[in-house]
Amino acid sequence: MEETPSGTTTDVYGPYPTGYLKHSVEGRMIALIVRGDRQRPAGAVPSATEAAALFRGMLSYAGTYVVSGDEITHHVDASWNEAWTGTDQRRLFRIEGRRLTLSTPPSPDPFSGKMSVRRLVFEKLE
């Protein structure tokens, strides 16, 4: 994440996040991103504190998508954060070899509320 206008950068999901992004030819998509350092709960059912930390350490949503030029819009049908359900999530994209970079326009960060640009880089799996 890069805060605007300060330019301060932060690894929102830590230095080694993991996840998947899938776009189907039928126009459906799903995204799941988690911090690489999420802590396993002490028991089978997370405590309220553990559950909050797990929630803050992930992002997940699904829906349909459309591409226009160098922009992709995800129409969110279901989300880890109900505030996103029913919204359109616009992203600029760039493909370089096996890597896909998605960037948000300047907008409030869903966790901190600070104006920022968030960038995610995905590498195609075989």
Contacts with 117 (C-beta within 8 Å, 6 or more apart), sequence order: 1, 2, 4, 103, 104, 105, 106
- Residue % of the chain over a pLDDT of 90: 69
Query: pLDDT of 5-56, one tens digit each?
Result: 777 787 878 888 999 999 999 999 999 999 999 999 999 999 999 999 999 9
Secondary structure of 42-110 as H, E, C letters:
CCCCCCHHHHHHHHHCEEEEEEEEEEECCEEEEEEEEECCCCCCCCEEEEEEEEECCEEEEECCCEECC
Residue boundaries of the structural domains of the chain: 2-38+46-123
Check whether domain 2-38+46-123 has CATH 2.40.128, yes or no: yes
C-alpha dihedral, 61 to 64 to 70 to 71, nearest 10°: -60
| pLDDT for 7 | 79
| pLDDT for 112 | 78
